[in-house]
Amino acid sequence: MANLIEKFKKTKIANEKSKQILGKCLKKAFDEVISDALKAEEILYLAWHFQVPQFDEMFQDHQNHDYDITPLN
């Protein structure tokens, strides 16, 4: 996922229709990995970076998700 993020950092999307389509794809991917906080945040970063219309909904879902935080020791 990190390689994907690095590749997309320099990419811009100006077309609203393209943002809508990308947003649908990111939302679907986000919903599939929401239980994994790190992967969800990576997808959320891409949604923010591209300013997709679904970002607010995804961010809210992330904030409301009950992540299992277990100490590492």
Evaluate the CA torsion angle 1, 47, 27, 13 in order and state its sign: negative
Query: At residue 5, does pLDDT exceed 70?
Result: no
Per-residue pLDDT, 25: 93
Contact of 8 with 1, CB cutoff 8 Å? no
- Beta-strand (E) ranges in 1-73? none
Residue with tokens 């277990």: 70
Query: At residue 16, does pLDDT exceed 70?
Result: yes
Per-residue pLDDT, 2: 60
pLDDT tens by residue, 18-43: 899 999 999 999 999 998 888 999 99
Per-residue pLDDT, 1: 62
Q: Measure Cα distances from 46 to 5, 11, 37, 68, 73 in Å.
A: 7, 11, 14, 23, 32
> Would you place residue 72 in the very low, low, confident or very high pLDDT band (cuts 50, 70, 90)?
low
